[in-house]
Amino acid sequence: TVLCFQWSDGVVLPVEVKVELSLLEKEREVDGLSPNGKASPLGDRRPNGAPGHCSDEEAPPPRLYSKPRDYVEATICHVKDLENGQMREVDVGSGRALLIKEHGEFSAIAHKCPHYGAPLVKGVLSKGHIRCPWHGACFNIASGELEDFPGLDSLATFQVSAEGWWPLVTMCLAPQALQAQKRSKPMSRCSAVINSNTGFSHVLIIGSGPAGLVCAETLRQEGFTDRIVMVTADRHPPYDRPKLSKVCTERRSVAVVDVKMRAVTFVDGSRMEYRKLFIATGSRPRPMSYQGMDVANVFHLGTPDDANSIARLANNRNAVVVGTSFIGMEVAAALTDKAHSVSIIGIESIPFKKALGEKVGKAIMKLFEANRVKFYMLNEVSEMKGQHGEVFPKTLLLWVLSPGSVPASGFLKQSGIHMDSKGFITVNKAMQTNVEGVFAGGDVVAFPFPQRNNKKVNIPHWQMAHVHGRVAALSMMGKPAEVQTVPYFWSAMFGKSIRYAGYGEGFDDVIIQGDLEELKFVAFYTRGEEVVAVASMNYDPIVSRVAEILGSGKLIRKRDVE
């Protein structure tokens, strides 16, 4: 690299810098440097985190240090280019990284959330971790470790130096880590003798959703080496279930759980004994009685096969979605570019009124109507009644039933495992049931929620199920753990996302800021004088910021947002 300097008042100033960092062409034995690439030494100086370069006046000279083979080093910027609490995406030649300065210390991590790829530079930085602006996942900025869900992977981290005779920031990294952007925690291998015919498992997991998957992964990450068996009624291995409605292991069902004998009997008559049991069966569609239950054009959305069939059969048909749940509304939105027409039948005149309030519900309803979706209500005699006098389609129908859900716990009725009046399995802070050695998590449970004085609630969120799985796994291993997270939920319709954090059940007022007509708003849900939840559209990262505050144990008062 060629540098030109000039003297000014006794200070050396660089006036021209070649901005590509070329590795030594000849390998040096003393430091193991290999000529495997190049990187851009100068990063972003713009205060808003947009990509750019330092000015010529302040550009520091690049330096080469001893480092492991196949590592690249790049000089990024002057130490004063970032203020405390500031983040910036920087170009390091073969990729990008996120440079962070907090409390005078620099750190560098992958710049995208490994969950759905959100730009972390738009997230919320607080007390040594960063929260994703889209779905609320948290990562430690020093280690890259995943500290709160959703998602399964941690972030890649890069070595940062801010020392030496010239006050600059230098980054040392492996190109492969820069490209991958994420990493998985190491897992222990099973030391038990593996035999598929063995009728015993040290840990038996019923269900392959996020709670079951995270439970299994956590056990292995924490050093558990005995046998783990996961059984599921789904013929697919664990997958990202929320995507089923946004874009259109061994298959066995459990029949009986015998907690005295610590054994499970399956519908095919086979039997398996266990030492620890984790029940994560989730929910099932609410039973619905209707004529023509055997026809081929009626679907519940529950598996990838269902989603594929709905998308395939929707072409040029009149699609009818029964139910205004989030899943039902997402399906309706996804079908508008495939079906001839899309109609939604609900029991309420305004969708999402109970969850998001009347004003927000009306705004979302207008979005659907603008995309040619028609709304109907079921009146007392079960006839379809158009909101504006529309004629309901009678031919070429494709029905998608989304009448809500109930806990999938019917097989436990005679087991001795306690359930509440709605069928939810009740658990303690450690996700353990009333039966020793039996744990449960996910949509099927009611658990003590700290933000409601440990009242037992059911929160059927994808993110919350991850947390349950981890807490249960740690509890099985005798490591104290309990749920310490802020519920985080999201939905996507017509390319627009709704983000929601907190637990707003029983809210008595909604304070809205922004423009509902433009779908650029934030809604604060209050109970009495306390903000208990927040929802937004096109207002990032406000929901993650509120989640961060609530997660720290602080209260947000109604007067604060008014």
pTM of the full structure: 0.78
Which pLDDT value is given to residue 53? 32
- The residues near 197 (Cβ < 8 Å, ≥ 6 apart) are none
Instruction: Give the pLDDT confidence score for residue 91 in this predicted structure.
Output: 84
Instruction: Assign 192 a pLDDT band (cuts: 50, 70, 90).
Output: confident
State the pLDDT confidence band at 285, using cuts at 50, 70 and 90.
confident
- Cα separation, 532 vs 460, in Å, equals 17
User: pLDDT by residue (tens digit) across 347-388?
Assistant: 888 999 999 999 999 999 999 999 999 998 876 334 544 555
pLDDT band at 295 (very low <50, low <70, confident <90, very high): low
Q: How far is CA 252 from the centre of its chain?
A: 28
CA–chain centroid gap for 556, Å, is: 24
Residues 24 and 34: their CA atoms lie apart, in Å, by 7
- Name 447's bridge partners: 457
What's the whole-number mean pLDDT along residues 337-343? 91
Burial class (CB within 10 angstroms; exposed 0-12, middle 13-18, buried 19+) of 294: exposed
The per-residue pLDDT for 57 is 37
The count of C-alpha atoms lying within 13 angstroms of the C-alpha of 328, restricted to the half-sphere facing its C-beta, is 23
Predicted local distance difference test score (pLDDT) of residue 204? 95
Measuring CA to CA, which residue among 308, 360, 315 is closest to residue 335? 315
pLDDT value of residue 27:
30
What is the per-residue pLDDT for 524? 98
Q: How confident is the model at residue 288 (pLDDT cuts 50, 70, 90)?
A: confident
Structure tokens at 492: 């996507």
pLDDT confidence tier of residue 22, bands split at 50, 70 and 90:
very low
Confidence at residue 235, expressed as pLDDT on a 0 to 100 scale: 72
Question: What are the beta bridge partners of residue 222?
Answer: none
Mean pLDDT of all residues in 14-20: 36
pLDDT averaged over every residue in the chain:
81
The residue with greater pLDDT, 242 or 374, is 374
CB-based contact 111:96 (threshold 8 Å):
yes
pLDDT of the residue at 493? 93
pLDDT at 62 > cutoff 50: no
User: Percent of the chain beyond pLDDT 90?
Assistant: 52
Q: Average of pLDDT values for 74-82?
A: 82
Surface-to-core class of residue 162, CB atoms within 10 Å of its CB (0-12 exposed, 13-18 middle, 19+ buried): middle
What is the SS3 assignment for 302? coil
The answer to whether residue 20 scores a pLDDT higher than 50 is no
> In this predicted structure, what is the pLDDT of residue 515?
97
Q: Where are the beta strands (DSSP E) in 37-114?
A: 38-39, 72-78, 86-91, 96-102, 105-109
Per cent of the chain over pLDDT 70 is: 78
C-alpha closest to that of 141 among 80, 91, 100: 100
**The pLDDT of residue 50:** 31
194 vs 62: which has the higher pLDDT: 194
pLDDT for the residue 278: 97
Please report the pLDDT score of residue 544 as a whole number.
Answer: 95
pLDDT over 50 at 246, yes or no: no
pLDDT score at 174: 72
Question: Per-residue pLDDT for 294 more than 70?
Answer: no
pLDDT value of residue 196: 63
Q: Distance between CA 176 and CA 182 in Å, rounded?
A: 10
Residue 225 host element (H or E): none
Can you give the pLDDT at residue 388?
Answer: 56
Query: Confidence class of residue 393 from pLDDT cuts 50, 70 and 90?
Result: low
pLDDT at position 42, please? 26
Q: If residue 533 lies in a helix (H) or strand (E), which one and from where to where? A: strand 530-537
pLDDT for the residue 217: 94
Question: In the predicted model, what is the mean pLDDT of residues 107-135?
Answer: 93
Strands (E), 84-194: 86-91, 96-102, 105-109, 124-126, 129-131, 138-140, 146-148, 154-155, 157-161, 168-173, 182-183
Confidence of residue 397 (pLDDT cuts 50, 70, 90): confident
The identity of residue 394, as a single letter, is K
The pLDDT value recorded for residue 1 is 37
Per-residue pLDDT at 291: 67
What pLDDT sits at residue 240?
64
Own/partner contacts of 36-39, CB < 8 Å, gap of 24 or more, are 36/70, 36/72, 36/175, 37/72, 37/93, 37/94, 37/175, 38/72, 38/93, 39/72, 39/73, 39/74, 39/92, 39/93, 39/94
The helix (run of H) or strand (run of E) holding residue 275 is strand 271-279
Owner of token pair 């433009």:
518
Higher pLDDT residue, 505 or 241?
505
More confident residue, 152 or 29: 152
Is the per-residue pLDDT at 305 higher than 60? yes
39-43, 325-329, 522-526: which range is least confident on average? Answer: 39-43
